[in-house]
Structure 1
Amino acid sequence: MKHFLRDNIAADFCENLSSERFGAVLVNSPWNILYEELRHKGLAAEADKYQEALMGALLALPVERLLDERCHLYLYTPNSAIPSGLELLKRWGFDYKSNLIIHNGKGAAQSGGQKSKFFRNVTDMVLFGVRGKGARTLDPGRTQVNYFEAPCQLHRVIEACSSGPYLELFNDQARPGWTAWKWQFLEHA
């Protein structure tokens, strides 16, 4: 069975999100989500083939039409995709300002002692960008430490540091006070 990256991501995005303007956007790692879909289908070894198509699809999303004049972007990015994340942040109209570090819970015991090509990754990055004049964080953000023990803390940090309304991309279960949108990346022929 042949799998391919779905090509109508921008149309689905426009169709399923209202005309509401958002002050903070959290983007769950589309790179990890695609990899998990591929792994589930037994295609993890082919992940690199899909990365270029994924980046093209992400760049085509008309995110700017949903943003307040001043907006914060939190882009959850695995270490291997940081260059792509920075490009995406810029193309969506944000200026990179900082990052947040999240311990992903994968210590030596959880990774089964697996080795990496370089260093074993036990953290993920959340690239933080702003759009608009005066798009500073709220007061708690100016004293917030940028390291977290668990990804579940991120929503609370965003709510404390950024003005809403809040949008979360690539998550189909909206938290109270948030709008969520999820995309199924792969189709099969």
Structure 2
Amino acid sequence: MPEIDGGFKTVLADPPWRFTNRTGKVAPEHRRLDRYSTMDLKDICDLPVAATVAKDAHLYLWVPNALLPEGLKVMESWGFRYVSNVVWAKRRKDGGPDGRGVGFYFRNVTEIILFGVRGSMRTLAPARSQVNMIETRKREHSRKPDEQYDLIEACSPGPYLEMFARHPRDGWTLWGDESAEDVAPRGRVHRGYAGGEIQVPHIDPHVHLPQQALDKLGETLRKQYERGSSIRDLSEQTGYSITRVRTLLHHAGTTIRGRGRSKKV
């Protein structure tokens, strides 16, 4: 574990949790998917986090919905007490819930950051007006929203440590087997998982749109389509029916590809 004089004041961790159902396609270490290597609960708990943080510190711990009890156990093992949480609500382009999540009991459209405190340290002044929710579109598998950093940096003091980091961030100390700049994170990047702001409005079925709205939406979808997204991709991302997506593309003068063909980007 990295060390710094006085210890890290804020830690962000997204542990490589190991699911019980390791043969299913949900499991990150599925042999045909090879998303990333995982650790069992004991090994995560045994990491010497307490020795690398300050006596007063904050912890932001990502936990899958199905492993909430395990997350609380890890937090306690690392020397923190649970006080609150932040919820990531995964959104479509129109702001509605992104239904492409997985789960055995419900289709998950949220993930949780457990917030813990070691010693005695309140959040910074901006946290008094910070809601405990991040609402953004999804990224590639397992990648968390970049908006988390702005929230954490506004609400908790540095120096900052990110454990199990997979992508660089200025001003942070990174630790993990994929944290080096010359190591490309494993896992396939699917179209439609680029993150970013919500771009199109929610539209109820059978609502007739004014000309200006047709022009703007058609142009937005045309650009995505010409970058390689399929009509089905756009339907899933926006929540619009395939018929509505196709109509908007035609309105924007889009040349529709043949069935089964996708444009390489």
TM-score bucket (shorter structure): 0.7 to 0.9
Q: Which residue of 2 aligns with 1:23?
A: 9
Cα distance in 2 for residues equivalent to 1:71 and 1:18: 14
Structure 2 counterpart of 1:42, from 32, 38, 62: 32
Are residues 1:152 and 2:146 paired? yes
Q: Which residue of 2 aligns with 1:99?
A: 85
In the TM superposition, residue 142 of structure 1 has moved relative to its aligned partner by 2.0
Give per-residue Cα distances to partners, 1:8-36, cap 9 Å, x unaligned: xxxxx3xxx23441010000142279942
Cα distance in 2 for residues equivalent to 1:107 and 1:91: 33
Are residues 1:136 and 2:122 paired? yes
Checking the alignment, whether the CA contact within 8 Å between 1:32 and 1:78 is kept in structure 2 is no
What amino acid is aligned across from residue 148 of structure 2 in structure 1?
L
TM-score if structure 2 supplies the norm length? Answer: 0.54
**Who wins on radius of gyration, i.e. which is larger?**
2
Q: Which residue of 2 aligns with 1:122?
A: 109
In the TM superposition, residue 69 of structure 1 has moved relative to its aligned partner by 1.4
Checking the alignment, whether the CA contact within 8 Å between 1:29 and 1:78 is kept in structure 2 is no
Cα distance in 2 for residues equivalent to 1:176 and 1:32: 29
In the TM superposition, residue 172 of structure 1 has moved relative to its aligned partner by 3.8
Checking the alignment, whether the CA contact within 8 Å between 2:12 and 2:161 is kept in structure 1 is yes
Q: Which residue of 2 aligns with 1:187?
A: none
TM-score if structure 1 supplies the norm length? Answer: 0.74
Between Structure 1 and Structure 2, the one with more strand by share is 1
Q: Which residue of 2 aligns with 1:64?
A: 50
Cα distance in 2 for residues equivalent to 1:26 and 1:143: 21
1:80/1:19 Cα in 2 relative to 1: closer, same or farther (>3 Å)? same
Cα distance in 2 for residues equivalent to 1:138 and 1:72: 11
Q: Pick 1 or 2: higher relative contact order, CA cutoff 8 A, min separation 6.
A: 1
Between Structure 1 and Structure 2, the one with more helix by share is 1
What amino acid is aligned across from residue 11 of structure 2 in structure 1?
V
Are residues 1:86 and 2:69 paired? no
Cα distance in 2 for residues equivalent to 1:169 and 1:157: 17
State the SS of the aligned residue for 1:118: coil
Unaligned runs of 5+ in 2: 92-96, 137-144, 179-265
Cα distance in 2 for residues equivalent to 1:141 and 1:119: 31
Checking the alignment, whether the CA contact within 8 Å between 1:168 and 1:179 is kept in structure 2 is yes
Cα distance in 2 for residues equivalent to 1:122 and 1:29: 19
State the SS of the aligned residue for 1:89: helix
Give percent identity, aligned residues only: 39
